[in-house]
Amino acid sequence: MNLENRSEATAERILFQLKTVGPQGTAALADDLGLTTEAVRQQVQKLAEAGLIAGEAERGSGAGRPRQCWALTQAGHARFPDTHAQLAVELIDSVRTLFGDAGVDRLIDARRDDSRRHYIDHLGSARTTGERVRRLAELREREGYMARAERDGRDWLLIEDHCPICAAARACQGFCRSELMLFQDVLGPEVQVTREQHLLTGGRRCTYRIARR
């Protein structure tokens, strides 16, 4: 790999790290990626100049001058694919024009029904809540949501670092309501699913808490 390709690869690793982990300082990035601080410093400066990341004060850094962390900008988030974004928005607008909001709602309901059948088919043999959440996360990961399941005390978290239908969801937030209902349906009545972080309301990811009733 030549020097230019190596530099591009390092930049992409930094973007992916900030996407999945969240804001980090230069030293933390270097440590997590196994790179020198100087190598990371060079790349973050280039990424900042390109408008893909921006510096922000680290929260809870204590007294004294706050340390700087790097976070993705909107342009940085856009480097991760939003599946057929423009086409999806145009189709939603067309359905709304032709059939009104009721037509859009029917479209969303049909998508949820298809997903429910697909998810239940894959979750059907799972016996425990944890196993069901892990299988759901695997399905969402394949769909491009950069999803994972994590244990949090007695609860489970479904964490999605990316939304491949973000443009469509911004055009019609019924998609987000529908997904929350979908997760509740497929994980079963013995648990309560709540959304704790939401990309469309300023969160850096979507996070769902799954707690036993």
What CATH number is attached to the domain comprising 35?
1.10.10.10
Q: Report residue 2's pLDDT band, with 50, 70 and 90 as the boundaries.
A: low
pLDDT in tens, 102-158: 999 999 999 999 999 999 999 988 989 999 999 999 999 989 899 999 999 999 999
Q: Report residue 212's pLDDT band, with 50, 70 and 90 as the boundaries.
A: very high
Domain boundary among 28, 61, 77: 77
Domain boundary among 14, 49, 77: 77
Residue 1 C-alpha from the chain's centroid? 31
Domain boundary among 56, 77, 98: 77
Same domain, 104 and 73: no
Number of domains in the chain: 2
pLDDT in tens, 154-194: 999 999 999 888 888 888 889 999 999 999 999 999 999 99
| pTM attached to this predicted model | 0.71
Amino acid of residue 169? A
Same domain, 199 and 96: yes
Strand-pairing partners, residue 72, are 53
Residue 64: pLDDT above 80? no
Same domain, 64 and 89: no
Residue 84: pLDDT above 70? no
Note the maximum CA span of the chain.
59
Residue range(s) defining the domain that contains residue 7? 3-77
- pLDDT at position 3: 54
